[in-house]
Amino acid sequence: MLYRVCKSFEVESGHMLSKHPGRCRFPHGHTRRIDVVLASPELDANDMVCDFAAIKHAVADHIDRLDHAMAVNSADPRIEHLGSVGDRVVTFPDRDPTTEVIARGIYDFLVELIGSGRDFEGGGRRYRFPPGLVVERVRVTETSTSWAEYGR
């Protein structure tokens, strides 16, 4: 049996799906809910899977880059017209920034961070994820009726 914790985030983000045959190829936006689920067979010295603040600070910058940003495929020919948006354009190398792709990107980022065993800072504190912790899944909700997740 496993213990599980979930930390949720919300971002406002836009995207264009250049491979989509319908309206989704045009710029549009979503209020996205991002749920990060971590699991462990054991609790840490504080009787937790891990500190919720650690999860928050671990992914804060990675998720914040999506907030109030336009996500696009790096191969989209319209990308040159987005230059005036500045640093709020997030490119996905040769992939459309679908909800599935966004979920996988956050999952892979966290798996690498947890696997590295390195300390990280946030909110004036140092954190390190406990041994045995795994990323079970990342779910990204796009609308009130649609979500995608990536995980074990």
CATH number of domain containing 49: 3.30.479.10
| Single-letter amino acid, residue 15 | H
Mean pLDDT of the chain: 94
DSSP state of 38: E
Rounded to an integer, what distance in angstroms lies between the CA atom of residue 46 and that of residue 126? 16
Q: What are phi and psi of 100, to 5 degrees?
A: -65, -45
Q: What are phi and psi of 96, to 5 degrees?
A: -70, 140
- pTM passes above 0.85: yes
Average pLDDT over residues 2-7: 98
Interval 34-56: pLDDT, tens: 999 999 999 999 999 999 999 99
Q: Are 59 and 36 in contact (CB under 8 A)?
A: yes
Query: What pLDDT does 85 receive?
Result: 60
- In the Cβ-directed half-sphere of 84, how many Cα atoms lie within 13 Å? 2
Helices in 15-145 by DSSP H: which ranges?
Answer: 52-64, 99-116
Predicted confidence (pLDDT) at residue 61 exceeds the cutoff of 90 = yes
Query: What pLDDT does 44 receive?
Result: 95
Range of the structural domain that residue 78 is part of: 3-151
Query: What pLDDT does 86 receive?
Result: 66
- In the chain, the percentage of residues whose pLDDT exceeds 70 is 97
pLDDT band at residue 84, thresholds of 50, 70 and 90? low
Interval 89-105: pLDDT, tens: 999 999 999 999 999 99
Predicted confidence (pLDDT) at residue 83 exceeds the cutoff of 80 = no
Q: List, in sequence order, every residue forming a beta bridge with 71; answer none if it has no partner.
A: 15, 90
Interval 111-139: pLDDT, tens: 999 999 999 999 999 999 999 999 999 99
Query: What pLDDT does 67 receive?
Result: 97
The number of folded domains in the chain is 1
